[in-house]
Structure 1
Amino acid sequence: MNGATQMLCLAIVMTVVMTIGWDWQRRHGNAGVVDVLWAAGLGVAALLTAATGQGAMTPRILLALMGGAWSLRLAAHLWRRVRGEAEDGRYRYLRAHWNGSQLKFFLFFQAQAFLVLLFALPFVAVAANPHDAVGVWTAAGVLIWVLGVTLETVADRQLADFRSDPSHHGKTCRVGWWRYSRHPNYFFEWLHWFSYVALAVGSPIGWLAWSGPLVMYVFLRWISGVPYTEAQALRTRGEAYRAYQRSTPMFIPWFPRPETSRNSP
């Protein structure tokens, strides 16, 4: 298949999947399932483009393995949270802000289907790469993927362990990577998208792969990641989280600044 046909097939699949997810949300009162389906949908995208792409076998096999494994890990992690916890505060806020409108939630779920298509563009670029030899860029892509996914998994586990302790309720995690970044899981997620840029080197549409890290950064930094997460943290933790903001880098991990009072000269 060419890229346009791949995207059309994926659009049909994701429209159906997100409609089913919207109905599940309506019955269970938990919109967090949309994150699970978004992550799983990208795994479907990686497998579909790898199986039907017109490029060489090596980049397509790596795409299937890397995109599929990344998707499975993230979707399973998110599903454990959705299944075992109350609806995320971000979605509770939307539910209240929209007065429980199911039409707005339906449109929201379908917008996530569109985002799967947008984030699948790097996969289309990799699947069209005609170069079969394993070279420097292939090795770089695998190394970046291993680093990003491994450290994102570590950061997710550190946060999950912190939240599982009842004595930490209402407190801010500063354990492990969370000491050096307020959103290390987002940072390593963003880093992992550069692996597909490396795998797409030599593809006639390799430039499309840059949409992954670029669009992911925009969404994490200004749209759906950091702004919503930090707004919810400020609503629930107030000044304690403001102190965390003053001392800890927002995105790229770095050494924390000495904490000072807001009223300090």
Structure 2
Amino acid sequence: MGLMSGLWGIYYIRRNSGIVDLGWTFSFSLIMGGCILMSDGWEPRKWLLAGMVWIWSFRLLRHIYKRYITTDEDPRYQEIRKKWGTRYVDLKVYFMFIFQGLIALVLSLPFFIVSMNKSDSWSIFEGWGVILWFIGVCGEALADKQLRDFKNNPENEGHVCQRGLWNYSRHPNYFFEFVTWLGFGVFALGSTGGLLGLISPLLMLILLLKVSGIPLAEEQSLKSKPVAYKKYQQTTSAFVPWFKTENRDE
């Protein structure tokens, strides 16, 4: 919570709520580091999970940082503050930061569970968890790169990215983010109490589908390019990559 409070101070100075995304992502690295230091689970298992968490965290942190320093505040946060009005808005933003910190703790359930596992043998669930994590991290990195390259081309202004993974899903980055967290949850199934670890990917799925992921992103896209994005919605899966329902016009 101290991290989130400090980040709120940066927000107050810069008036850019996007800093919370940086802190939220980095918080998982800190939590995993704490798990290594304060738990007595089997070291190889803890360090394997730590490597998975840190690779995911720092890859995403780098991506978000570039966006934070080169663009204006995320329109999603602008819209949230607009809906809140001006009365006590900074206090409301503070509680939003703290709430995200609490969400990070719940999402970290697999880290706590795995770090307490003293068994010195591997589980098949841990193997499957690594596979899912690898697919998720690589898929999200590819989706982010494809969208970044598309936006960096001035000729694409006003158009919707339908290249690569974005041809099969309107939000492939969110889909593979979920796959990554599913990997963490499955990894935890090899430890006592591992079923509780599945709360993490389930919560992430709810956040992506119903709260801060797809709903806000779709709302902003419809505002910025209503005709093109509405057509995109009609032909392309919202989340799970799949074939288009009809051929798009070239």
TM range (shorter): over 0.9
CA distance in 2, matches of 1:94, 1:161: 28
Correspondent of 2:118 among 130, 138, 162: 130
The reply on whether 1:173 has 2:161 as its aligned counterpart is yes
Counterpart of 1:67?
A: 53
What per-residue deviation string (whole Å, max 9, x for no partner) do you get for residues 5-37 of structure 1? xxxxxxxxxx11111111111211211111111
The reply on whether 1:209 has 2:197 as its aligned counterpart is yes
Counterpart of 2:222?
A: 234
Displacement after TM superposition at 1:99 (Å)? 3.1
Counterpart of 1:7?
A: none
How many matched pairs? 247
Correspondent of 1:146 among 131, 134, 137: 134
Q: Is the 8 A contact 2:107 2:201 kept in 1?
A: no
* Unpaired segments ≥5 residues, structure 2: none
* Unpaired segments ≥5 residues, structure 1: 1-14
What per-residue deviation string (whole Å, max 9, x for no partner) do you get for residues 137-192 of structure 1? 23222221111101110001111111111222222111110000000000001001
The reply on whether 1:245 has 2:233 as its aligned counterpart is yes
CA distance in 1, matches of 2:178, 2:236: 19
Structure 2 residue matching 1:193: 3-state secondary structure: helix
Q: Is the 8 A contact 1:58 1:133 kept in 2?
A: no
The reply on whether 1:88 has 2:58 as its aligned counterpart is no
> Which runs of 4 or more aligned residues in structure 1 lie more than 6 Å from their structure 2 counterparts after TM superposition?
none
Distance 1:75 1:260, change over 3 A: closer
Q: Which amino acid aligns with 1:76?
A: R
TM-score (norm 2): 0.93
Q: Identity across aligned pairs (percent)? A: 35
What per-residue deviation string (whole Å, max 9, x for no partner) do you get for residues 58-107 of structure 1? 22111111111111111111111011111111011123222342111111
The reply on whether 1:254 has 2:247 as its aligned counterpart is no
Displacement after TM superposition at 1:260 (Å)? 8.0
Q: Is the 8 A contact 2:124 2:190 kept in 1?
A: no
CA distance in 1, matches of 2:156, 2:120: 50
TM-score (norm 1): 0.88
CA distance in 1, matches of 2:227, 2:19: 30
Counterpart of 1:3?
A: none
C-alpha RMSD of matched pairs (Å): 1.6
What per-residue deviation string (whole Å, max 9, x for no partner) do you get for residues 94-132 of structure 1? 232223421111111111111111111111111122322
